Each structure stands twice: as C-alpha cells, then as structure tokens.
Structure 1
Amino acid sequence: MTARPIPTRLVNTIRSYSTRANQTLTLPDSRTLRYAEYGIPTGTPLLYLHGFPSSRLEASAFEPIARRRNLRIIAPDRPGYGLSTFHPGRQIPDYPADVLSLADHLSLPRFAVLGGSGGGPYAIACAHSLPNERLSGVGVLAGAGPWSAGMQYVSITRRLTSLGATYTPVALRLVLDGLVNTLRWAVTTGPATRWIDGWLEKQSSTEKGTLSIEERRQMLLDVTFEAFVQGSGATVQEAVLLSHDWGFQFEDVLYDKVRIWHGVRDTNAPIEMIRYMAGRMPNCVLTEFDDSHYTVARHIDRILEELVPVA
C-alpha cells in the first residue's frame, strides 16, 4: 500500500502553532520524518508520540505548560501521518528506531518519552527496545489497551474497524476518505461548529484558559485534518497494528519505570485492559484517575512532574 501524494493546497494551509512545527529529518532508509517542537528550545527533552489517528500538531496543546516547566517537547509524525513518509509493512517494534534516529539527529543523549492514546503502545515499545541509558523516563497517558486482555472489552465499532482494515483495507480507506471530506464540509456549517464547541467545553484540556473556544476548535480540526493529509492509509494500517499482537511481550519490558496514567471511565481503552497490561510489566506504575479518555489530561501538571521532574 502506498500513500497518495500530499496535495500542495493542503500542505500550504497547515496551521503552525510554533515556528518549529514543520521540521524534517531524512531517516537512514531515506524516508522523511516530519516533526514539531514546542516549549523551550534548551529545555529538558520530551518526545511526545501522538494518538490515533493524529499528527505532530497534537502536541501544540502542551506549548503553555512546556514553557512553564522548561520542557522541549518534540513531536514526530508516525509513518503516513502528517508529512512523514508512509512505511509499508511496518510493525510497532520498528518505531523505536525512528525515535532514536530523531534523538540522535537532535543530539539528545537522554530523553523522556510520553505516548498519548494510540501513541501509548509505541512508548512501551521504546521502553522494550531502546537502551536504558538513553531514556530518562517513559510514560503513557490514556494509552490504547491490548486486545489480548479480552475481546469483551473491545467495542463493536472497534472490532468492525479492525476487521475492515485487515480484510478490506481498500474499502475502508474509501469510507474514511469520504468521512474526512464530509467533515471538512460540515465544519463550515453552524450546527457542526456548535456541536464541536459544546464537546470542547465539556473537556478539561491543557490549553483551556489560554485559548478561546474558536482557537481550540481550530486546533482540534487542524490536528485531525493533518493526520489525513496523505489520505487514510496510515489510519487503516494502524487499525490493524493496534488490534493485533504488538510484537513484544509485556513481561520483557524491563525498563524502570514505565508510568501509566489512565481514567477509570475511559471507554476508548477500558481500565481492565490497562490493568492487564500493567500487571505484566515488571516495573510498571499505574496511576488511576476518576476520569474519561479526554478529561484525564487535566492532570497533566502532575503527570509531567512525575515523568520529567523540574530540576
């Protein structure tokens, strides 16, 4: 499966929340990795691995707190998302090599990794595969759960998406591309924008209080649309990866410590799946909050303090 060429029209309209939001690295296999930076350029480095489906722009929400906590947040697009080259046949354990290449490119001897939502499995893969001396911390915020915990925790919608991605990927790509195009049109109408604004008002997000509701809506849309700049190929690919074996055993993740923060009311990744995973990693610390998948981010100050303490 190859990604479609990136439409120049869309590339030229990417909203930048940082003058460093569109940086590029050529990987050893000649693929392009696009990444953004937020916060303090000389601050403590933290690599943020975005959700599913999403893009590097997701980390723009952390700009205010990164500046307050003297953090340099580096957020790469995974293959096929945003402006990173699609990588046919990739597996979750392949990604830590990209992370290490980025860290080497930026001359980072040590760095922390935080995976949000669908980026969680990739953060754990980093804990599994990267040299311990390179990692100053590994964290997962509202991460995806392993389906091996039990199918009773997986919604019908997610099961159908996984089946479609596995057996009819072309059809699913057509459906997703159509949905994204419909959303592009819908957000130009009053009812759609009012619904989005109402949803945002219910969420406790890191940027709330520093951005207007219109700016927060625009940020959400930019992050979402950026994920599909190359089409939905990466989303279909990752729907398979996240719903099948992740390519490593949790018992073999020996890094000390993998920290997980999760909401007990998370319906995207039920807490039972996370407890199953955390209980199998020898050095994992699971912190549970009375929150949903989205509202757990209101604890971001505590989370960052535990992952990257202020010196």
Structure 2
Amino acid sequence: MSVQHLTLTNGLKLGYAEYGDPRGEVMFYFHGWPSSHVQGSLFDEPARKHRIRLICPDRPGIGLSDFQEKRTLADWPETLTQLAAHIGADNYHVLGWSGGGPYVLVTALTLPKRLLSASIICGAPPLKFLGDRDMFWLYRVMIQLRHYFPTVLGAVLRLGGLTAKGDPRKPLLRFMMKLLGPEDRRVLLLPGIYDVVRDATLGALDRGPKNVIADADIYLSEWGFEVSKINYPIHFWHGKDDRNIAWTYTDRVASLIPVATPRWSDIDGHYSLPITHAEQVLANAVQKPPVKTEESLLPGLLGK
C-alpha cells in the first residue's frame, strides 16, 4: 500500500491509498460508511490479478483528508477530477461499496465521458426519497439520534470504535455478529478480514465522530439530482441476505436508471458479497458494459 496526499484548489488536503497494479488501468474505489481508504485493501489481490491500479481516497473529513465545510454530494466530481489529473488518469473505472455507492452515481451523472465502468456493491440508497424503513435497525436508531440527539450519536460512535477493537469471538462483539446473516459472519471471521474492516472503521474515526456524522449527513439530505437522469451503464451487486441495506433499495434504484445491470446473490450479505466475490466484480468491470438486463447470481455462477 502506498499512502499519498493531494492539495486541492480549495487548499484542503485529500489523502488516498494505492493498491493493485501500479501500471494497470485506474479504478477509483469509494469506501463505505463509517470507513476509510483501508477498506480498499480487501480488493488488492484481485486488482493485481486484473491489472487494475486501485486508488482509494478518503472523503473530506475522513482519515487522511481534511474536513470540508458544507460539503455536498455534488462537490465530489470536482474533487475526483482533481485527483484524476494528479495521478495522470484521463479515463478510469469507479467502484463504490455501501456508502460509496452514491458517489459512483453522481460521478456517472456528471463525468460519463471519463468513465470506463461504474460498479456499486450493496449501495446506500437516497433515503430522503425511499425512506429508511428497510435499513438495519441500528442505522435507523442512529438516524433518529442524528435528528434529535446529535451529541449522543457522537458518543455512540466513539463507543462503537472502542467496541470494534475487541475480539469478534468475545461476548459483546459475538452478539453484534449474530445480527448479521450466516455468510457475513463466516466471512468476517476468516483470517485477517475482521482486522481490515475494524481498521477501516477506526480510520474513519481518527478525526473524531463529528466528521463521521457530517459524512453521514450527505446520505440523509437531498442528493441534488434525479437518479433517472443517469445515462451511463451501472453494474449493481447486492446480496439478498444483506441486513444492513436491503437489496430492495438497489432493485428500486436500478429500475430508475435507463441502462443498469442488477445482479443478486440469494445467500450473500453486506460483507460477504464484496469480499468473497471481489474478483468477479472487478473482472466484470473491465469488460465492455452490457445492455440493461437483470441477472440472478446463483451459487453455481458465483463458484459457491
């Protein structure tokens, strides 16, 4: 891993990490919430195999990057454009997991001529439009705390960071793991996987919960554009046992985009799909984007 900084035209520093093949095609990876550039390391090996230079920026206020006041989703394409120019990429792929999904969508809307592909794994939905009824109950609690008790939410995030440092096999974390589906639990307990997920979360909290909350506010706000206006092929991947973000959100979002390919796994969840099937996601991204269709990811197709 190589960690670097870029000073943006607004004077703020943007930090990013590089994984994969340094001579490969550029793919920007947009991390989830609450997470950071460390999450991109989960894609390092398949990125090397498929000759992808994986660039993983921390969003403003997260990890390596300076906080940006009054940031909106619409600010991201300009930030990405400066980062792309900095590393010498005229065209590139974009991939987002969970909270990184909306950043893929706004990039596809505003910079379609720069894109080689656009992929979203278990993406966060426009909650202002679709509501939070099908979100993980813990997320719904945090949304309510954000509205009515933001100070308490900050304390909850700090406590969560401390809890994450423990052993996932010990009582408290074992209880939290039981809230996930069987595939998520299995994958998170594989050697080294939980460590990466934990370190990525702690990296998000390095600059304090206030910045993490500001990052979350973007999901709760109006995105500032209509998803239906996107006219670039989006590859959607979602597990039907995702208990963090229900697959039905992706189904509804994909139905609004003129050219989209939703793919489903009946057995995977929020963590198991991107980690177990990272190679398939990246291999698909470097191919020519298909026309709109809907595919079911049966266990056999995924090599289960």
Q: Tell me, yes or no, whether TM beats 0.5.
A: yes
Which of the residues 210, 215, 236 maps onto 2:213?
236
Which of the residues 115, 124, 145 maps onto 2:96?
115
Contact 2:187 2:193 in 1 (8 A): no
What is the CA–CA distance in structure 1 between the aligned matches of 2:157 and 2:7, rounded to whole Å? Answer: 29
Alignment map for 1:1-311 (pairs within 5 Å): 18=1, 20=2, 22-130=3-111, 132-147=112-127, 148-184=129-165, 186-187=166-167, 191=170, 195=174, 202-204=185-187, 213=191, 215-255=192-232, 257-290=233-266, 291-297=268-274, 298-309=276-287
What is the CA–CA distance in structure 1 between the aligned matches of 2:208 and 2:126, rounded to whole Å? Answer: 26
* Deviation by residue 1:217-242 (Cα, 9 ceiling, x = unmatched): 43233212111110112221133221
Cα 1:271–1:221 shift into 2, 3 Å: closer
How many residues are paired up?
281
* Deviation by residue 1:62-87 (Cα, 9 ceiling, x = unmatched): 11111111110000001111110111
Shift of 1:166: 3.4
Cα 1:216–1:261 shift into 2, 3 Å: closer
Shift of 1:91: 1.1
What is the CA–CA distance in structure 1 between the aligned matches of 2:212 and 2:148, rounded to whole Å? Answer: 14
- Look up the SS of the partner of 1:153 in the other structure: coil
- Look up the SS of the partner of 2:117 in the other structure: strand
Unpaired stretches in structure 2, ≥5 consecutive residues: 289-304
Q: Matched residues, percent identical?
A: 31
- Look up the SS of the partner of 1:36 in the other structure: strand
Shift of 1:183: 4.1
Contact 2:33 2:98 in 1 (8 A): yes
* Deviation by residue 1:142-194 (Cα, 9 ceiling, x = unmatched): 1112222244323443233123223433332233224323544x45x983698
TM (norm. structure 1) is: 0.82
Cα 1:230–1:194 shift into 2, 3 Å: closer
Q: CA RMSD in A?
A: 2.6
